[in-house]
Chains A and B, each alone.
Chain A
Amino acid sequence: MNDYTVATPIETRGPIVRAVGVRKSFGDREILSGIDVEVERGEVVVLVGASGAGKTTFLRTLNRLEPIDGGEIDVNGEQIGQHANGKGRLVERSARDLARQRADIGFVFQHFNLFPHMTVLENIWHSPVRVKGEKKSEAVGYARELLARVGLADKADARPRSLSGGQQQRVAIARALAMRPALMLFDEPTSALDPEMVGEVLAVMRDLAKAGMTMIIVSHEMGFTREVADRVIVMDGGRIIESGPPAQVFTAPQHERTRQFLSKVL
């Protein structure tokens, strides 16, 4: 098992995500004050930090659910959501172009956001068919396969609302994987779950990491982070204050704010 990705990335060399000087404000409040990050293919990066640090906002800029006010974000070697026009000025990409870019980036939401008017199986095969034009029979077959991998083969015909939170989140992960993304983004995937359901979702994510999927995760699960992350990025006040392997960041934090944060969560 464990061959989740079949996507052929447009650009196969160099970092899959490159963010340079990313800025974002909501009104007068600056949420991101210049973020620089590179993420390599196959890397598992976990963003940690106090709430309000800008982790979720930054994650949402990576597939442009949040437009940015300054800087540049390249995913798969392409600037996301905007590009230089003939005169070299930055302009917004068309809705269709942006949709094409997003199709390669899986996103898992804190609140799952499954489509309640579809069965679990349809949630998974719908977008590959409608967006990528896959044949329905093939998409359904792959959807069943993914559902089995997240341990929910028997729930194919259930409605999302009849599932527990943990089950819904596993379906949401399968739904994102069905698009065969080159990169998976997770926005606090276990924060809305009852404690006893956190484990089943983390197990699926652990599998995914082992399979070599590139993952960027906003999480408060420090045990999971220590175990799975290749790199931990600590954010504070819209900036990255520290970054490194979990062993280093957790045992010998360089920054005072990191120490304060870790003393609260560890």
Chain B
Amino acid sequence: MTFDWTYFWQSLLTPSEQFLNGLALTIIISVVSMVLALVLGLVIALMGRSRFLPLRIIASLYVWVIRGTPLLVQLVIIYTGFAAVGLFRFEDADLAGVLIKGAVQASIVGLMLHESAYISEIVRSGLESVERGQNEAALSLGHTPLGAMRYIVVPQAIRIMVPPLGNSFNGLMKTTSVLSIIGVAEMFQVGSTMASSTFKVFEIYLVIAIYYLVLTTVWTVAQTAIENSLNARAGLPRAESAWKRLFGLRSRKASPAQATAETSRVLQTDDAY
């Protein structure tokens, strides 16, 4: 085996500026598209619950089409396809002195659209998991439907939504590697360029894998902290520790998130515990 340890350690511990830029781009694209997808996903979920049939139809068509087609195909259609038929071309743009490449804009739009369809389903099921009596109690106390949503339903739904939303973000960070197909210089693209010029294919992809692992690990720790702070505010037990989740050593008892989902049901059936 001809594994170049020196090159491996060098790439891992003192990555080139180019590689670091790629890493930064991966993080930025992930965060920005996630934030936008959260907003769009919420809008789609609310449309899906609207009293107006046309809005409900649009929402379900959207979810159906976006979830039913691969991200790769969506990206190529948005970036290359639209430009080819003269529909829309993503031009490089200057945002407060920073040049944002057309391909990066297309990536953010594509990831946002793709992710929002999944997020809308997470939001929908989160809202539905809150007992109907909670909304009725809020209304009977004189809250408007919007107020009931804001003060009573959403705060309870969020705790249920955070774990699947966190998993979504985790997946999204890894998914950014497909952006290389439309020429975005994110971490994977930079790495593959390096690999083809140095032929140190195994070493470089190993380094890339480790960096993705670091990203998702950091996020898992952050997500656990978010869940814990939400649980603490709701007076619930702590979430499973990040280390247990990372190594698949979750306890076999129901997780706090599930316990949360069950709380309102328990509230209805049990009197003493």
Chain A residues close to B by CB (< 8 Å): 63, 65, 95-96, 99-100, 102-107, 109, 111-117, 119, 126-127, 130-132, 159-161, 164-166, 168, 175-176, 179, 192-194, 197
Contact = CB atoms under 8 A, between A and B. Distances in A.
B221 interface: no
Contacts of B270: 165
Interface string B256-273: 000000011011101111
B137 A115 contact: yes
Given A115-B156, A179-B141, 18 more contacts: A99-B139, A99-B144, A99-B147, A102-B142, A103-B141, A113-B133, A114-B267, A115-B138, A117-B234, A126-B151, A127-B138, A127-B141, A131-B141, A160-B267, A161-B266, A164-B272, A166-B271, A194-B271
Nearest to A111: B268
Contacts of A104: 142
A192 B270 CA distance: 9
B235 interface: yes
Contacts of A131: 141-143, 147
8 closest Cβ pairs, A-B complex: A103-B142, A165-B271, A107-B140, A113-B137, A113-B133, A127-B141, A131-B142, A159-B235
B131 A176 contact: no
The listed residue with most A CB atoms (<10 A of its CB), out of B137, B263, B264, is: B137
Nearest to A197: B271
A99 B143 contact: yes
The listed residue with most B CB atoms (<10 A of its CB), out of A103, A117, A127, A197, is: A117
B145 interface: yes
Nearest to B134: A113
Contacts of B235: 119, 159, 161
A23 B124 CA distance: 33
B130 to A, nearest CB: 10
Given A116-B156, A117-B155, A165-B272, A130 B143 contact: yes
Contacts of A106: 140
Contacts of A111: 133, 267-268
Interface of B: 131, 133-134, 136-147, 151-152, 155-156, 159, 233-235, 263-264, 266-268, 270-273
Nearest to A157: B235
B143 A116 contact: no
Contacts of B137: 107, 109, 113-115
A96 B145 CA distance: 9
Nearest to B235: A159
A197 B271 CA distance: 9
Given A115-B134, A117-B155, A192 B271 contact: yes
B152 A115 contact: yes
Contacts of A103: 141-142
Contacts of A102: 139-142
A176 B141 contact: yes
Nearest to B137: A113
Contacts of A179: 141-142
A172 to B, nearest CB: 8
Contact of B140 (A105, A116, A168, A197): A105
Contact of A65 (B140, B144, B146, B272): B140
A161 B267 contact: yes
A14 to B, nearest CB: 23
Nearest to B266: A161
Contacts of B159: 117
Given A99-B144, A130-B151, A65 B133 contact: no
Contacts of B144: 95-96, 99
A32 B151 CA distance: 33
A159 B131 CA distance: 17
Nearest to B264: A116
Contacts of B146: 95
Nearest to B158: A117
The listed residue with most B CB atoms (<10 A of its CB), out of A107, A113, A160, A164, is: A113
A161 B263 contact: yes
A116 B268 CA distance: 12
A120 to B, nearest CB: 11
